Amino acid sequence: MSKEVRWGILGLGNIARKFAHDLKLVSGGRLVAVASRTLDKAEQFRDEVGADKAYGSYAEMLASAEIDMVYVATPHHLHRDNTLAALQSGLGVLCEKPAALNSVQLEEMLAASTETGHYFMEALWTRFLPSTEKVAEILASGELGGVVEVEADFCFAAERDYSSRLFDLALGGGALLDIGIYPLFLAYQLLGVPEQIKADGQLSPTGSDESCSMTLSYSNGRIAQLHASVLYGSAMAARITCERGYILLPGRWHEAQSLTVIKAGYEPQEIATPFPGKGFYHQILSSQVAFLAGERQNEKWSHADSLAIMQMMDDIRQQIGVVYPGEQ
């Protein structure tokens, strides 16, 4: 294998374009191939982002022997099949979030990564951002004491196109899987797996969740209050309350370029947490390092981390009544 990771992108939509942009900023990796369901689209995308090859089918790219790692950028309902196909073709996988529709699918994907020995990571890019690392550093210093409450949301007013992937159940539609995963990630990152989740949701005419509110309870009264909505917007700020102060992540907190530490008895301290590009730089770099080291997973966002979040989302969907085709 070369010392450079040769990437292929599978599914050429919005996020694929942003990923291709940021990949150019990262040394040690190169976009070699792109694959679409249609050759015309793949050729156009190839020319736009400067890849070497364009394929008019996903299977053709996976069989090409020209790439090491696949970035799966299709809608949620395809993540399992696309990931399994890539792993079985001998390739590493960075798969867009949510990793799958449910934990049954994800367990199948993780088992395939174990059996084939190939890298798999869910593209939970916020985990790799400087703001996330800075929060961890501040909390580890102990200056604020332990975390007692996390408040976070991810809300925006989406266009009411019920055939779009945001609403269509066949494409894994719904606020929880698309954007609720971010506040859940923050609570999980800071407080771990809760003892109990109480969720409430508002469903669209398709049966997908338009809004979802979640209260996560932990031992000693610790709590996380989380919201996600594609019905209405919000400031999208997050607050991490600790025993001796709090940390504010300004909107949009999941890609914050600064944060403020407010410690009882002190002036607020603003800390810059900039990142290059559109936010995927650190995630790509970390994936490349792990992949080239022969790792099967990423220690910063492991298989167990993805599974924990997916199980929480299964629980929440059961409470609010969102069922995807093929699920009981």
Give the long-range contacts of residues 250-255, CB within 8 A, separation 24 or more.
Answer: 253/131, 253/152, 253/186, 254/126, 254/154, 254/182, 254/186, 255/126, 255/129, 255/131, 255/279
DSSP codes, 147-201: EEEEEEEEE------TTSTTT-GGGT-SHIIIIIHHHHHHHHHHH-S-SEEEEEE
User: Minimum CB separation from ligand NAP for residue 171, in Å?
Assistant: 6
CA atoms within 13 Å, Cβ hemisphere of 84: 11
**Which of 5, 7, 8, 12 is in the footprint of ligand NAP by CB under 6 A?**
12
Q: Is 238 in the site for ligand NAP (CB under 6 A)?
A: no
Task: Calculate the CA 118 to chain-centre distance.
Answer: 20
**Which of 30, 46, 53, 97 is in the footprint of ligand NAP by CB under 6 A?**
97
The stretch near ligand NAP (CB under 6 A) out of 10-18, 61-69, 127-135, 184-192 is: 10-18
Phi/psi of residue 278, each to 5°? -95, 5
Q: Is 96 in the site for ligand NAP (CB under 6 A)?
A: yes
**Alpha carbon distance 61, 54 (integer Å):** 8
User: Minimum CB separation from ligand NAP for residue 225, in Å?
Assistant: 23
Nearer to ligand NAP, 229 or 245 (CB): 229
User: Minimum CB separation from ligand NAP for residue 175, in Å?
Assistant: 11
Q: Is 178 in the site for ligand NAP (CB under 6 A)?
A: yes
The stretch near ligand NAP (CB under 6 A) out of 12-20, 22-30, 215-223, 288-296 is: 12-20
User: Minimum CB separation from ligand NAP for residue 217, in Å?
Assistant: 27
**Which of 61, 78, 86, 212 is in the footprint of ligand NAP by CB under 6 A?**
78
CA dihedral 122, 126, 127, 131 (to 10 degrees): 170
Contact by Cβ (8 Å): 3, 30? no
User: Minimum CB separation from ligand NAP for residue 37, in Å?
Assistant: 4
**Alpha carbon distance 96, 123 (integer Å):** 5
Q: Quickly count: other Cβ atoms within 10 Å of residue 249's Cβ.
A: 24
**Which of 11, 92, 130, 183 is in the footprint of ligand NAP by CB under 6 A?**
11
The site that binds ligand NAP (CB under 6 A) totals a number of residues, namely 21
User: Minimum CB separation from ligand NAP for residue 294, in Å?
Assistant: 26
Range 100-159, binding ligand NAP (CB under 6 A): 123, 125
**Quick one: tokens of 34?**
């792109």
**Alpha carbon distance 80, 67 (integer Å):** 20
The gap between the terminal CA atoms of the chain, to the nearest Å, is: 43
Query: Which residue's CB atom is positioned nearest to ligand NAP?
Result: 13
User: Minimum CB separation from ligand NAP for residue 128, in Å?
Assistant: 11
* Binding map of ligand NAP across residues 47-76, x = CB under 6 A, - = no contact: --------------------------xxxx
User: Minimum CB separation from ligand NAP for residue 277, in Å?
Assistant: 12
Footprint on this chain of ligand NAP (rule: CB under 6 A): 11-16, 36-37, 41, 73-76, 78, 96-97, 123, 125, 165, 171, 178
